[in-house]
């Protein structure tokens, strides 16, 4: 009887142990499941935060790259704008004309002793006009067309009038940079003469070593201009001297016009060094107001 009780007691103990193990295991599994259910949202949130941080990092990297690109583009745009500004200034300067002088034909008449050339058969001698003497008035003017200094009168042999001058042009970069001394060309009148006169027998205008009258404008001549006009032919014959002064070319030139009696001509200088010799346009005559139509006073 006692052995049966021991067996029953052992069985009961084993069952209790088994039940306890089952309960403990169930509790452990339940706790794990509970922990897992509780921790899953936290883990997913952490993963999402990590993904978000990675997206933010990549976005910041992209923004940094774009900022550099934008900075580079802004620098390029600024450089191009500055270049455009320089070109616009250069283009404006290229179009600038400085009035230098005005030549008025006071008289023109035939003289029988002046190298008359017999016309060939079937032609006229009018084109050559070798028997014409022309009296002109030459006066230098400012950009507003106002006379500078005294007008000079000359008797020219022929009707083709030449104006001889010294010309200085500067390198293009000085025009682009709007350099104070070298943004425009310089000209110094030498002589005026006719087609039937030797240039050496022409009438003297400005004097070498002095500032051109048309550039006086009431201000002292700069040291830069003094050097150019005082040493003109030395500079013209020395490429290194010319380069040091930014001079592209320095030489003598002349413009000519077959003039007509009663007309006035204007001589202008462009910043490129080109000089034009052209007739001035006659001022427009104001139109007279039309007379009012007669009123019909008859009553019907």
pLDDT tens across 109-161, in order? 988 765 545 555 554 544 445 589 999 999 988 877 888 878 999 999 999 99
Six-digit token string for 243: 């380069």
- H and E: helices and strands count for the chain: 5, 9
Query: Do residues 199 and 148 lie in contact, with contact meaning Cβ atoms separated by under 8 Å?
Result: no
DSSP states along 63-109: HHHHHHHHHHHHHHHHHHHHHHHHHHHHHHHHH-EEEEEEEEEEEEE
Task: Provide the phi-psi class of 155: left if phi over 0, else alpha when psi is between -120 and 50, else beta.
Answer: beta
pTM of the model: 0.58
CA-nearest of 276, 101, 264 to 188 is 101
More confident residue, 23 or 226: 226
Beta bridge partners of 72: none
> Who wins on pLDDT, 216 or 196?
196
pLDDT at residue 32 in the model: 61
Question: By C-alpha distance, which of 175, 178, 191, 189 is closest to 247?
Answer: 175
């Amino acid at each position: 009887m006692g052995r049966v009780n021991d067996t029953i007691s052992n069985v009961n103990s084993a069952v209790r142990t088994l039940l306890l193990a089952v309960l403990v295991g169930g509790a452990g599994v339940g706790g794990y499941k509970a922990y897992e259910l509780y921790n899953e949202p936290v883990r997913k949130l952490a993963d999402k935060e990590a993904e978000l941080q990675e997206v933010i990092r990549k976005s910041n990297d992209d923004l940094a790259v774009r900022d550099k690109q934008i900075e580079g583009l802004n620098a390029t745009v600024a450089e191009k704008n500055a270049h455009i500004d320089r070109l616009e200034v250069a283009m404006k300067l290229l179009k600038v004309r400085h009035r230098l002088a005005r030549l008025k034909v006071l008289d023109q008449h035939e003289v029988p002793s002046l190298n008359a050339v017999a016309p060939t058969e079937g032609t006229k001698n009018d084109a050559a006009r070798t028997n014409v003497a022309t009296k002109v008035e030459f006066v230098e003017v400012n950009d507003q067309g106002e006379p500078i200094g005294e007008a000079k009168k000359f008797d020219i042999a022929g009707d083709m009038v030449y104006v001889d001058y010294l010309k200085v042009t500067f390198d293009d970069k000085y025009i682009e940079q709007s350099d104070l001394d070298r943004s425009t060309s310089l000209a110094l009148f030498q002589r005026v003469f006719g087609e039937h006169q030797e240039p050496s027998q022409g009438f003297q205008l400005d004097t070498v070593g002095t500032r051109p009258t048309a550039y006086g404008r009431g201000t002292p001549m700069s040291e830069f201009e003094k050097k150019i006009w005082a040493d003109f032919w030395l500079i013209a014959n020395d490429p290194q001297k010319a380069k040091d002064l930014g001079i592209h070319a320095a030489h003598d030139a002349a413009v000519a016009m077959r003039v007509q009696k009663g007309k006035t001509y204007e001589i202008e200088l462009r910043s490129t060094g080109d000089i034009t010799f052209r007739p001035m346009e006659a001022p427009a005559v104001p139109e007279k107001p039309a007379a009012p139509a007669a009123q019909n006073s008859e009553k019907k």
